[in-house]
Amino acid sequence: MKLKIAVLAGDGIGPEIMEQGVAVMSAVARKFGHDVEYREAICGAHAIDVVGDPFPEETFKTCMESDAVLFAAVGDPKYDNDPASKVRPEQGLLAMRKKLGLYANIRPIETFDCLVHKSPLKDEIVSGADFICIRELTGGMYFGPKKEEQDEAFDTNLYSRAEVERILRVGYKYALARKKHLTVVDKANVLASSRLWRRVAMEIMKEYPEVTTDFMFVDNASMRMIQEPRFFDVIVTENTFGDILTDEASCITGSMGLLPSASTGEHTPVFEPVHGSWPQGKGLNIANPLAQILSVAMLYEYFGLNEEGKLIRQAVQASLDANVRTPEIQAEGGAKYGTREVGAWIVDYILR
């Protein structure tokens, strides 16, 4: 297969983990005889520094002309610490999602047996947890009408029936392919937007009688995710709730550095780790590249190349079993490996 991949490394540790993601993608392409063309583009703080725009038109054009986008992370303290800044790196990420029509964010949460002890939760709680969070990505407070003045501000949690219906159907598609259990997370006892979500979900669920559908308020869901993560199979929720819940879910796996994601919709899909740019780790060769590498697995699988994705997952599992890990997940007394060393080990495993 021939693939054109837009590569958006972004800020902070982004370039370091992206280097390993591209290396793994190239190794798999070589192994299976695929032709992958990479097209680099700027975004985030890097793009602001260069052209004053966190998602320049040229970057958008590159994304639209590609089969998929491999993205790393954006964010920089010089913008985070300046409340008066009118242009921020994260605006580039939101613009990419909006302009590419990426309304469905798919975040799998899966534990690794050799790492359950790294979770702050008890082993018996997290062991065997395996579910997917599907987050609506282009609506809600992040995109609704806003006002920000010196003494007053608001964000509008705006959703339409069409937006809710299309993301619910994505959720049901995944539930049908898994354990046929869908949990709709909302706050319908307080929020009008959530009552729309629930009304639409109660209509659509009748079309999927083979799927068990339940409803859960977001506060209860956040507690249940920690108390009993194995209860969940597929979660579908709105933008803000999804952002918070999926970060919380990283406690189950033991590290945000293990969580990949895919964003799909109307145009070019984007594959990225769920973590941020971690500027404090920039240039130190300590960032965990596994979420970026597992995002490459999701990219291959999106195009039906399941054997390729399976090999990447096997390589990641093998690296963990061999204690080839970055510092935050390394076993006590284990050898020291950095971003580059972990990536190189996985590439070598793939090419053997």
DSSP E strand boundaries for the chain: 2-10, 35-40, 68-73, 104-110, 130-136, 146-148, 153-155, 181-186, 212-217, 234-237, 260-264, 270-273
Cα–Cα distances (Å) from 306 to 26, 161, 299, 310, in that order, read 16, 34, 10, 6
> Are residues 277 and 76 in contact, defined by beta-carbon separation less than 8 angstroms?
yes
The residues with which 71 forms a beta bridge, in sequence order, are 8
The pair of structure tokens assigned to 28 is 């798999």
Our answer to whether residue 67 is catalytic in this structure is: no
The pair of structure tokens assigned to 232 is 């969940």
Would you say the C-alpha torsion 169, 233, 242, 272 has a positive or negative sign? negative
Of 79, 103, 142, 159, which one is the catalytic site residue?
142
Of 214, 219, 321, 348, which one is the catalytic site residue?
219
Our answer to whether residue 247 is catalytic in this structure is: yes
Our answer to whether residue 146 is catalytic in this structure is: no
Of 172, 174, 187, 337, which one is the catalytic site residue?
187
Would you say the C-alpha torsion 296, 341, 310, 27 has a positive or negative sign? positive
Would you say the C-alpha torsion 116, 118, 124, 130 has a positive or negative sign? negative
Cα–Cα distances (Å) from 322 to 114, 182, 252, 325, 342, in that order, read 10, 36, 21, 8, 11
Whole-number Å distance between alpha carbons of 318 and 290: 12
Of 67, 80, 155, 247, which one is the catalytic site residue?
247
Our answer to whether residue 219 is catalytic in this structure is: yes
Our answer to whether residue 80 is catalytic in this structure is: no
Query: What is the DSSP code (8-state) at residue 334?
Result: P
Whole-number Å distance between alpha carbons of 103 and 101: 6
**Pairing state of beta strands 104-110 and 260-264?**
antiparallel
Residues marked active site are found at 142, 187, 219, 243, 247
